[in-house]
Amino acid sequence: MTDGAWSATRPGRAPREAATHCPYCALQCGMTLRADDDGVTVLPRQFPTNRGGLCQKGWTAAGVPTVAPPLHRQVYDLRTGACLDLPGVAVTRHDARCRDGLVEVRLRREG
């Protein structure tokens, strides 16, 4: 995913795809994320729960970069730290980007 300052792909590269699951509910519908020079696109894929379709939340999954850590059991907006499942709840946010298949996190120094 991009944050406007860092690109998800290098110009001229072929699109990269990753088979994954929708982060929004317990159904975990199958989807494919395709990254190219224009950003990230969501594509539905065949999976037992969604049979090749996606709901409205699934189609917009690439619009808001999220994380669903098992410890919290909620979905969080990576840009703000806000919990998408519980209004008013948030976690500490750090700048992050994807580069060469790795997620890089910029940690803040305290004090």
What is the count of structural domains for the chain?
Answer: 1
Structural domain contains residue 43? yes
62 domain-assigned: yes
- pLDDT above 50 for 110: yes
Residue 1 maps to a domain:
no
pLDDT band at 6 (very low <50, low <70, confident <90, very high): very low
pTM to 2 decimal places: 0.47
In a domain, 10, yes or no: no
Answer whether residue 11 is part of any domain: no
Rounded mean pLDDT of the chain?
Answer: 76
Residue 40 lies in a domain: yes
Instruction: Give the confidence band of 83 by pLDDT, cuts at 50, 70, 90.
Output: confident
Would 94 be classed as within a structural domain? yes
| Max avg pLDDT among 60-64, 101-105, 107-111 | 101-105
Separation of CA 2 from chain center: 10
Closest CA to 96 of 22, 2, 9: 2
**Angular region, 16: left φ>0, alpha ψ -120 to 50, beta rest:** beta
Query: Is 2 a domain residue?
Result: no
User: Which DSSP state fits 59?
Assistant: H
Full residue range of the structural domain in which residue 34 is found: 16-106
Domain harbouring 60, CATH code:
2.20.25.90
